[in-house]
Structure 1
Amino acid sequence: MSVRVKEKAARVRLLALDVDGVLTDGRLYFAEDGQEFKTFDTQDGHGIKMLQAAGIEVAIITGRNTKLVQRRAGNLGIRHLLQGREDKLVALRELTGELGIDLDEVAYVGDDWPDLPAILAAGFGVAVANAHAELRARADHVTTLAGGRGAVREVCDLLLGAQDRYHEALAPYLET
């Protein structure tokens, strides 16, 4: 990781995530009865739990409003769920104000144009590997993995590493 990326990641106190294309692969599955399905990566979920254990807040900001995302956020213990928010930057500013966190202390991960203002405003703007080219060109960091395929875990590991907490998070799994 570059010195610039490490410096930005070291300041992060809040990780804010889009859903479709970031926590999922971006595909939407609908049954005949209108029921919606999404797939989430379990390693992304574990990374989120590790960040929270390390004291880093995690939020989801999404333009859509679904019970599936509410359930996933609940399963992961994510307390900050902002659904139905088309203007991601406004939502992010509201959340940081409530939490007393500066935008400079935020990592925002997105994949498409609605995420661009938040990526540009955040202290550490991240685009997933399969993000639109405009995001990849403007983000501070682009993941090597695609959204819904481990990109969020990659960001979690990067944040833990930049804050010298990676080995601390790993240690309990090495004890015999």
Structure 2
Amino acid sequence: MSGSDGRAIHARAVVTDFDGVHTDDTALVDADGRELVRVSRSDGMGVALLRRAGIPFLILSTETDGVVSARARKLRVDVRQGLEDKAAALRDWADGQGVPLADVAYLGNDVNDLACLAIVGWPVAVPGSHPDVLGAARIVLDRAGGDGAVRELAERVLRSRAGGALAGAGASTPSSSSSEENP
């Protein structure tokens, strides 16, 4: 289903892949082999709003990459990397959070996300995802990876909370440049 209907996502926790979700799935590699990726500050604000609302958030990645760790530190969220079995890591994390998998939104884009998408109540994909991921998704967002997809997911989750929690979680437009307001 397309994200254009803007419907709320009734999740109690949010888990995302990193590459292709927080990024546009492109990596710049310098002569020394260091990778750089582009992330969206809007996505960072979405994560901050979820944190403020008390919604647990996790980044899962099959790769072990310093850029993923650095972004998770900046966002002040949990991260699990270098995973061969992302679904097992997701189950363990959700159990530790006391959140049933039926109440988890998982945002992915590629075939290594299929097992996670299959076990959660809210399987979500970014546009341009692998066709199998699009087929497994309950919702396909409007915004692309690295271009506001995480923010869109955050706002939909917050919209589902009683009384329109988005307004209660903080302004949707940052008014200062502190690191919390400009993740």
TM-score between both structures, scaled by the size of structure 2: 0.86
Cα drift, residue 2 of structure 1? 9.8
Contact 2:28 2:37 survives alignment (8 Å)? yes
Alpha-carbon separation, structure 1, partners of 2:95 and 2:71 = 25
Cα drift, residue 170 of structure 1? 4.5
| Structure 2 equivalent of residue 27 of structure 1 | 26
Q: Quickly say closer, same or farther: Cα 1:114–1:174, change in 2 above 3 A.
A: closer
Alpha-carbon separation, structure 1, partners of 2:126 and 2:84 = 19
Contact 2:166 2:172 survives alignment (8 Å)? no
Aligned CA RMSD, in angstroms, stands at 2.1
Cα drift, residue 168 of structure 1? 1.7
Alpha-carbon separation, structure 1, partners of 2:129 and 2:174 = 35
Alpha-carbon separation, structure 2, partners of 1:77 and 1:86 = 24
Alpha-carbon separation, structure 2, partners of 1:49 and 1:120 = 27
Alpha-carbon separation, structure 2, partners of 1:44 and 1:171 = 14
TM-score between both structures, scaled by the size of structure 1: 0.89
| Structure 2 equivalent of residue 89 of structure 1 | 87
2:34 is the counterpart of 1:57: no
| Structure 2 equivalent of residue 158 of structure 1 | 156
Alpha-carbon separation, structure 1, partners of 2:74 and 2:105 = 22
| Structure 2 equivalent of residue 169 of structure 1 | 169
Q: Which runs of 5+ in 1 are unaligned?
A: none
Query: Following TM superposition, where does structure 1 have runs of at least 4 consecutive aligned residues deviating by more than 3 angstroms?
Result: 170-175
Cα drift, residue 43 of structure 1? 0.2
Q: Quickly say closer, same or farther: Cα 1:31–1:101, change in 2 above 3 A.
A: same
Cα drift, residue 86 of structure 1? 2.8
Q: Which runs of 5+ in 2 are unaligned?
A: 176-183
Q: Quickly say closer, same or farther: Cα 1:34–1:172, change in 2 above 3 A.
A: closer
Q: Quickly say closer, same or farther: Cα 1:54–1:130, change in 2 above 3 A.
A: same
**Aligned partner letter, 1:169:** A
Alpha-carbon separation, structure 2, partners of 1:172 and 1:48 = 11
Q: Quickly say closer, same or farther: Cα 1:30–1:104, change in 2 above 3 A.
A: same
Q: Deviations over 1:72-122 (max 9, x none)?
A: 1111110x2100013211110111122221101111000011101111211
Q: Quickly say closer, same or farther: Cα 1:134–1:43, change in 2 above 3 A.
A: same
**Aligned partner letter, 1:71:** A
Contact 1:86 1:114 survives alignment (8 Å)? no
Aligned residues: 170
| Structure 2 equivalent of residue 139 of structure 1 | 137
Alpha-carbon separation, structure 2, partners of 1:174 and 1:96 = 30
Cα drift, residue 22 of structure 1? 0.4
Identity rate of aligned residues, in percent?
A: 34
**Aligned partner letter, 1:65:** T
